[in-house]
Amino acid sequence: MAAPLCVEVEFGGGAELLFDGVKKHQVTLSGQEGPWDIRNLLVWIKKNLLKERPELFIQGDSVRPGILVLINDSDWELLGELDYQLQDQDSILFISTLHGG
């Protein structure tokens, strides 16, 4: 049973185009039975925040290759990637590296 959480979700590098151009989102995740990890967060983002073209952001279970994920300014690879358990006031940043040069 996961308690409700408040996290900040940010998009950069062009990924914000898929979210109406809004870069920072304060997100309140309601309590639920399963844990709140990145995997579930992605599902939540797809359902509630993503405005268009989900295939440009999410591929299968995870983010599309080329999109970096930083949790509290640290590489998500150090924290378990999709299995990282979210904590209150965490800051999750998705940077698209595919755009521009």
- Give the residues lining the site for other proteins (CB under 8 A): 12-14, 16-18, 52-53, 55-56, 65-66, 68, 70, 73-75, 77-81, 93, 95, 97-101
Please state the closest distance from residue 75 (CB atom) to other proteins, in A.
5
Helix (H, G, I), strand (E, B) or coil at 17: helix
Per-residue CA distances from 87 to 1, 10, 65, 66 (Å):
14, 16, 25, 25
Please state the closest distance from residue 56 (CB atom) to other proteins, in A.
7
Please state the closest distance from residue 85 (CB atom) to other proteins, in A.
12
Helix (H, G, I), strand (E, B) or coil at 57: coil
For the range 45-48, what are the long-range contacts, defined as Cβ-Cβ under 8 Å and sequence gap of 24 or more?
45/9
Residue closer to other proteins (CB basis): 1 or 101: 101
Residue closer to other proteins (CB basis): 83 or 88: 83
